[in-house]
Structure 1
Amino acid sequence: MLKNPAYAGAFVYGRTQSCHARYASGKIISRRRKMTEWKIVVKDRYPAYLDWQRYERIQTMLSDNHAEYRRNQTRGVSRDGAAVLQGIVWCGRCGHKMGVEYKNGNRYVCNFLARSQGGGLCQHLPADPIDACVVEAFFAAASPTELAELMCAKDARRQAEEAFDRAEEQQIKRLRYQALLAERQYDRGDVTEREV
C-alpha cells in the first residue's frame, strides 16, 4: 500500500525496466525506475486512500530509510541499540557514516576507510558523553509547554488503552453470560424432544 501508486489514485505505466540479462532460472532481470522516470502517470484515476503529496512524501521517507549510503546516498534508518545517534552520525574527518560498537562500552566508529581501502580506523569516539550532550540539547530546545503536551498525549493514550481493555473485558463477560444462559435453556428443555 505504501509503494503502489494506485492507492494514491494514480494509474502508472513504466515503473520497472527490463534488462537484457537473465537469471539462471531464465527469468528476465528487471529494475525499478525512479518516479521521475515513469513513462505515464495519470493522477486521480482511482479512488484514493491517500493524496498524491502524501504518497510522494512516503516514497521519499522510504528511500531515505534505505541503509546503503554508498549506492543511494541516503541516511538510513536508525537501528536497535543503546546509542542515541545510531545510524545518523557522520565522521567529521572523512565525511562518511559512522557505525556503533557495543563491546567495551558504546562507541561511534568510522571504519569506512578501513573497510574500503584496508587502512586503519579514521576515528572512534565514546558514545555516552556525546549522547548525554544530545539529550541535554533536546530538552533545552523543547519548551516546557511541548513537554507538558507530550505528557498529556501519553496520559490520554494510556487512558484510551485502559478504556479499550475495560470494554473488551465487559464484552467477554457479556458473551460468557449469553453462553451460560443458552446452556441453561438447553438443559431445561425436554430430553425426549431433543434431536441428536
Structure 2
Amino acid sequence: MVKEFNRQSLLLPRRIQSGPDKGKVVWAAIAHSRVLQILHNPRYAGAFVYGRHQHKPGVSGKSGPALQPREQWIALFPDAHVGYVSFAKYEANQTRLASNATAYGKDRRHGPAREGPALLQGMTMCGLCGRRMTVRYHHRKHGLEPEYVCQAKGIEYGSPICQRVHGAVVEHAVGRLLIKALTPHAVTAALAVADELTARADEAEQLRAAAVERAQYQTDLARRRYLAVDPDNRLVAGSLEADWNAALRELATARDTYESAKNDGHGVLDDAQRARITALAGDFLTLWHDPDTPMRERKRLVRLLVTDVTLVRADQITAHVRLTGGQEHTLTMPVPLAAWQIRQTPPDVVAAIDELLDDHTDGQIAAILTERGHVSGTGQPLKATIVRRIRDRYGLRSHPQRLADQGMLSLREIARRLGIGLNTVQIWRNNGLLTGRVANDKGEYFYFPPPPDLARPRIGRPPGPRPAPAGTTTESAQGGAV
C-alpha cells in the first residue's frame, strides 16, 4: 500500500504534534506507521471507542500513552457513525494483521503467505524440541526446493542443527491429505457429524433451560417462604433470607451458563449454506490442481485448513497434521534418497554385470545390458567405460582376473612356459596349436595351458629354394650343378 501510494504521489493529512506549528494539518507522503495507525483505529470503521490508550509512567518518569488490549477498553460502540469500511471488515483486517505480525514474534506462528514455494512456511514445528522450524531453499534443475530446518538452538546456543526435513515429500503428503479431506464424500460426512453435534447441542440446551426453570422455581419458593414468615421470628426469617439469597445465586449461575452456551453455540446450517459448503470441495480441487494458481494462494488455502504440522525425522519422516477443526492425522513417508544414492547403479544391473563377467568383456557386457534395456544410475546408456567404473566401485573382479582364476595363462605367461616369442604364440594360435579366450576389448587372449605332448613344429624357414641375394644372377645347366 505504501509503495502504491508513493508511486501515484498520493498524500495524506497529518496533524503536527509539537513545535511552533503544533495542531496544524499538513499533507505529506504516506508512511508505514501511518498506515498501521489507520488500519488499527476502529474510528475509521464507524465505531466509537474510549480507553484505547492509558497514560502510564515510563522509565524516565514521564507518562505517555500505552495501547491497551481490546478487552480492557472502557467503551466500544460499533456503527456509531458512518465509517470508511464496515466493522466486520475492520475485524477481518485485525485478524489478518495479527496473523502476519506473529511471523516476527518469538514463536513465529504461521506468518504471511509469501511467494516462495514452501507450502508449509511458518506452520512446521520440530517434533524433537517443539520449536518452530525455518525454511531453506536449494537450487535444483526443476527450480527451488524447500527444506524445513530446526536451527533455533543452533542460533541461540551455537549447538548443531536439531533436524532437517525434505520439504517436497511432506508437502505432497499434506496436499494429498487435504484433497482427501475435502472430497464431496468427506464433506457429506462432515455435514452429518455437524447435524449430530447440533442435535446434541439442542439436547444440552434443553437441559440447561430446564436447570434455569428449576432454579427459578426454587427462587420463587424461597421468596414466598421468606415473605410468609412472621417478622418477629428473626431466627427463622434470617434462615429463610439466606436460603433465598442462595437460590438467587444459583439462578444467576444457571442463567449465565445458559446464555454463555447459547452465545458460543453454532447455528444450524440451512440448505443454501449446505450447498455452498459442498460446492467448496469442488472449488478447492479445481483451484488446487490449476497450474496457474499462484503459490501464495495455495498457502492461503492451506492456512485455512491446517493449524500446524509437527515433523520428526528418524528412519522415516513422521508428520502430525492438526487441522483447523481439531482433527489430527499422522502421516509417514520414507526419507528421500541423497543425490549420491539416487545416482547409484541399480542393484539388478550390478548383479547382471557380476554374472556376465565370467564369460564376457566390458564392451560385450555393455552391449548385452543395453539390449536388455538397462541404463546407468544417471540414466545414460551403458558403455565399456561405465561398466569398468561400476566394477571398480563395487569391487568386482574383471574378466581377465576370472580367466586367471580358472587356470588360463596370459600371453607372456604361456610364451615363457613354452620358451617361444610373443609373436610365435599368436602364430601358433592362428594355426590351431594353442586355444584361448578373448580377455578384454583390445583383442588380447588368455590361453589354456598347453598339453605336455604338444607337437612343437620345426623352428626355421619353411622348406624350398632360398631366394637369391639381391644383385646376383644364376644360371642352371641341364644335368649340372649351380
1:79-124 CA distance string (max 9 Å, x none): 3311110111111122221110013642101111112222221111
The match for 1:69 is 105
Q: CA deviation at 1:132?
A: 0.9
Contact 1:78 1:88 in 2 (8 A): no
The match for 1:133 is 173
Taking the aligned partners of 2:181 and 2:94, their CA distance within structure 1 comes to 29
Q: Relative to structure 1, is the Cα distance of residues 96 and 29 closer, same or farther in structure 2, using a 3 angstrom cutoff?
A: farther
Contact 1:22 1:29 in 2 (8 A): no
Segments of structure 2 that go 5 or more residues without pairing to the other structure are 1-37, 140-144, 185-278, 288-482
Q: Relative to structure 1, is the Cα distance of residues 63 and 102 closer, same or farther in structure 2, using a 3 angstrom cutoff?
A: same
Q: CA deviation at 1:30?
A: 4.8
Q: Does 1:4 align with 2:3?
A: no
The match for 2:127 is 92
Segments of structure 1 that go 5 or more residues without pairing to the other structure are 153-196
Report which stretch shifted further, 133-142 or 1-10: 1-10
The match for 1:33 is 68
Contact 1:79 1:87 in 2 (8 A): no
Taking the aligned partners of 1:16 and 1:115, their CA distance within structure 2 comes to 37
Q: Secondary structure at 1:140's aligned position in 2?
A: helix
Q: Secondary structure at 1:64's aligned position in 2?
A: helix
Q: Does 1:124 align with 2:124?
A: no
The match for 2:147 is 107
Aligned partner letter, 1:14: G
Taking the aligned partners of 2:54 and 2:126, their CA distance within structure 1 comes to 36
1:39-91 CA distance string (max 9 Å, x none): 3323332124313x5533432332122113327x7432233311110111111
Percent of pairs with identical residues: 31
* Larger relative contact order, structure 1 or 2 (CA cutoff 8 Å, min sep 6): 1
Task: Spell out the pairing of 1:153-172 with structure 2 (5 A cutoff).
Answer: none
Contact 2:147 2:166 in 1 (8 A): yes
